[in-house]
Amino acid sequence: MALVIYWYDFICFAIVAGVIFLSLTVLLLKEGNGKRKDDQTIYESLLVLHSDRDGFEDEGLLRRSGYLHSTQLWTTCWRRLHPAWLLALRMLCTALMVALLLCDVGRYDASIFLYYTEWTFALVIVYFALGTVISAHGCWTCSKKPEYEESDHLLKRNLEECNKSSTTISFRSNKIKGTIKLQSHQEQEETEQRAGFWGCLMGTIYQTCAGAVILTDLVFWFILVPFLSNEHFRLNLLMGCMHTLNVVFLLLDTALNRLSFPWFRLGYFVLWSCTYIIFQWVLHACGFTWWPYPFLELSTPWAPLWYFSLAVIHIPCYGIYALVVKAKSDVFSRFFPSAYIRSN
């Protein structure tokens, strides 16, 4: 039987179409601004040096920039922690999550991919797999550098972090000139090593699955398990692991990586969820009758309220993870100022 359309279903269609349009508009505006202003606003260390003279306008411009250079993809936010540790973490997470997904498919069948949980779990695997490849490439490139280049790189990173602290005020004349010269050289190298397509894709997937794992785990543990458990859905160890390790692994990666987490990237998370909803609509239009989640059903007059609630809940879900990233930066930089490297 094909999908039956009621008058209130058009409200659901309008809600989904509206959030897609709004998300695309925000992304195009914000990403566009980042592309036009990157070349003048990405250099945080030089902006801090000039902050006494130029005020805070440039610093605010910097925070809106979407600039991402290749080293942020595979280096850690801890000064003395080798990037190989981040590589090892990503490799381990990829292997364990692939094993869990295969167990899930083996226990049930490919129909598990009708669930949003499996979509998100697979997306997290893609992030860790892509991160593993990029981390491996970065570590290999770093290992090929001559020893004097590595020492020079470490010196420039130390000078960059020193200039972010208030002690920079005490440096004058020749010391400041030398610092600016080293940082200008470093920034020129970083501009030439933009993250590129795969790096931007990795950052986008990271920000998308961060909000998605919060949404799936909250819905699973606070709605499905307490209220919808029956003979067709019953909690087991495999389900519990999949709805726990996804966010645990992502938080561990967040504790080590240097990736930024801008608010406007919420749009990618919303588009991801809308893609899943449209996929369900297409299935039911082709004759599929079973809804994996009752709150997606279109045959009930409450459907517009459910869809509106789903659209709104994306904001706190993404916001929770954004607050985690902000807390990480604020807390670690306060308690470990000499060891922690703040992201742009």
pLDDT digits (tens, 9 = 90+) for 213-236: 999 999 899 888 887 766 566 788
Indicate the range of 97-101, 109-113, 269-273 predicted with least confidence.
Answer: 109-113
| Residue 69 pLDDT | 77
Average pLDDT over residues 39-45: 37
Confidence of residue 19 (pLDDT cuts 50, 70, 90): very high
Q: And the tokens for 120?
A: 């998100």
Average pLDDT over residues 155-163: 50
Confidence of residue 55 (pLDDT cuts 50, 70, 90): very low
In 3D space, the residue among 189, 138, 184, 179 whose CA is nearest the CA of residue 155 turns out to be: 179
| Residue 318 pLDDT | 97
| Residue 5 pLDDT | 83
Indicate the range of 13-22, 189-198, 265-274 predicted with least confidence.
Answer: 189-198
Q: And the tokens for 97?
A: 């999550």
Q: And the tokens for 231?
A: 């003979």
Indicate the range of 33-42, 202-211, 308-317 predicted with least confidence.
Answer: 33-42
pLDDT of 101 higher than 60: yes
Q: Name the one residue in this structure whose structure tokens are 């004097």.
A: 148
Tally the residues of the chain.
Answer: 344
pLDDT of 83 higher than 80: yes
pLDDT of 201 higher than 50: yes
pLDDT of 77 higher than 80: yes
Average pLDDT over residues 76-94: 95
Q: Which residues contact 42 (CB under 8 A, 6 or more apart)?
A: 62, 65, 67, 187, 191, 344
| Residue 39 pLDDT | 42
Q: Name the one residue in this structure whose structure tokens are 């797999």.
A: 129
Average pLDDT over residues 3-17: 89
CA distance 106 to 166: 57
pLDDT of 190 higher than 50: no
pLDDT top residue among 9 and 66: 9
Coil, strand, or helix at residue 194? strand
pLDDT top residue among 172 and 222: 222
In 3D space, the residue among 280, 276, 302, 279 whose CA is nearest the CA of residue 290 turns out to be: 280
pLDDT, the chain, mean:
80
Confidence of residue 315 (pLDDT cuts 50, 70, 90): very high
In 3D space, the residue among 222, 210, 199 whose CA is nearest the CA of residue 272 turns out to be: 210
CA 175 to the chain's CA centroid:
38
Average pLDDT over residues 156-183: 46
pLDDT top residue among 184 and 202: 202
pLDDT top residue among 156 and 96: 96
Indicate the range of 23-37, 78-92, 98-112, 330-344 predicted with least confidence.
Answer: 23-37
pLDDT of 48 higher than 60: no
| Residue 211 pLDDT | 96
In the chain, pLDDT over 70 holds for what percent of residues?
72
